[in-house]
Amino acid sequence: MEIHAYEKLWLALALVLIVGFIGTITYGAAGAGIDMIDDKGGTVDPATLDQHPKFGDPGIEQNGENSYDVYVVARQFVFEPGTTEPLRVPAGSTVTFHVTAADVIHGFEVVGTNANTMAIPGQVAEFTVQFEEPGEYGMLCNEYCGSGHHVMEGKIVVMEQEEFDSWYEQQQAQGEAEN
C-alpha cells in the first residue's frame, strides 16, 4: 500500500497527540504521587454521628509530630467546623481530612486548591494535604443540598506553627476543663 508523505505526517502527528495524552494522564495518576480518595475512610452511621468518637465532636487533633487529623461533618447548611468558627490548621504540616455528611450529599471544596471531595452520608472521605503558606481559604459546598445550599460555606485559617500550637493547647485545656 502506498501512503502519501503528507498522510504519513498526518498519522504521525495524530499518534504523537494520542500518546501525549495518555502520557500526561498516566503521569498524573501514577507519577505525581497525589493521594486519592478511596474506601480506606470506611463507613459510619449517619443517624448516630453525634455519638461517634471522632465525628461527635469534630475538629482537629494531633496524631504525631507535624501530623494532624481533621474531622469535618457537613450538614444542612454548615460545615462543622468551618462555618460558625473557622477550621484552624498549621502551615507546613501534614493534615489528613476525614469528611462525612450528616444528612444529604454535600460537596467539600477548599476553593482554589485540590482539596475537594464529596461528603456522602454513611461514607468517610479521607485525604491528606499540606498547606504551605499561612493565609485564609474559603470552603464551600458544590453539590446541591437544599434551600440553604448557597449559604453553605466556611473558612480555613492556616496559621504559623507556633501560633497554631498555642491556640491548640488552649483548646485542649478548654476541652479538659469542660470534662
Partner 1 sequence: MTDASPERDAAADGGHEVAHDDHGHDFPGTGSIKRWFVTTNHKDVGILYIVTSLFFLVLGGVLAWLMRIQLFAPRGLGEGILAPVAYNQAVSAHGLLMVFWFLSPFAFGFANYVVPLQLGAKDLAFPRLNALSYWLYLFSGILFGVSFFQGGTFSGGWTMYAPLNVPTFTPDVGASTAVLALVLFVASVTVSSVNFLTTMHRMRAEGLTLRNLPLFSWTILLTAWMMLFAFAALLAALLVLSSDRLLGTTYFAMESPAGALLWTHLFWFFGHPEVYIVFFPALGVMAEVFQTFTGRRIVGRKWFILAMVLVAIQSFAVWMHHMFLTSINLQVKTLFMITTIGISLPFDLMVFALIYTMLKGKIRFTTPFLFVFGALLLFIIGGITGVFLGAVVLDYEFRGTYWVVAHFHYVMVGGVTALVGGLYYWFPKMTGRMYDEFLGKLHFAVYFVGFNLLYFPLFVAWETPRRVFDYAPELAPWHQLATVGGFVLGLSFLIMFYNLFKSAFVGDPAPDNPWEYATTAEWAVSSPPPLENFDGTPTYRNGHLEFLDTGEVAPTEGRSDGPTGAAVSDGGVTASATTAVTADAELPTAEVTEVEGPSHASIWPFVLSAGAFLVLLGLSPLQDAAFPEGMVGAAYATTTVAGGVVTLGSLVAMGLEPFHGPVFEEGEAWPFAGIDNGKVGMWIFLASDVVLFGGFLGAYVFTRVAFGWTGWEPIPSDPIPGLVNTYILLTSSFTVVLALVAAEKKHKWGLVTSLGATFVLGIGFLVNKGLEWQHLFHEGLWLSTNVRASTFFLTTGLHAAHVIAGLVIALYLTARAWRGAYLEDSRSVEYFGLYWHFVDIVWLFLFPLFYIL
Enumerate binding residues for partner 1 (CB under 8 A).
7, 10, 14, 17-18, 21-22, 24-25, 28-29, 32, 34, 36-39, 41, 43, 46-47, 103-105, 107, 109, 111-112, 114-118, 120-125, 140-151, 153
- CB closer to partner 1 out of 90 and 121: 121
What's the DSSP call for residue 43?
A: B
- Give me the least distance between CB of 32 and partner 1, in Å please: 6
Nearer to partner 1, 41 or 164 (CB): 41
- Determine which helix (DSSP H) or strand (DSSP E) holds 78, and give its type and residue range: strand 78-80
Judged by beta carbon, residue 14 or residue 173, the one nearer partner 1 is 14
Which of 122, 84, 117 lies closest to 101 in space, CA to CA?
122
Output the smallest distance, CB 169 to partner 1, in A: 33
* Beta-sheet pairing, 60-64 with 67-75: antiparallel
CA distances from 100 to 11, 94, 121, 145 (A): 49, 20, 6, 14
* Closest C-alpha among 81, 79, 73 to residue 51: 73
When the beta carbons of 34 and 173 are compared against partner 1, the nearer one is: 34
Q: Minimum distance between the CB of residue 94 and partner 1, rounded to whole angstroms?
A: 17
What is the closest distance, in whole angstroms, from the C-beta atom of residue 160 to partner 1 in the complex?
25
Q: How far is the CB of 171 from partner 1 (least distance, A)?
A: 29
Instruction: With H, G, I as helix, E, B as strand and everything else as coil, classify residue 106.
Output: strand
Q: Which is nearer to partner 1, 25 or 173 (CB)?
A: 25
Query: CA 149, 150, 151, 154 torsion: positive or negative?
Result: positive
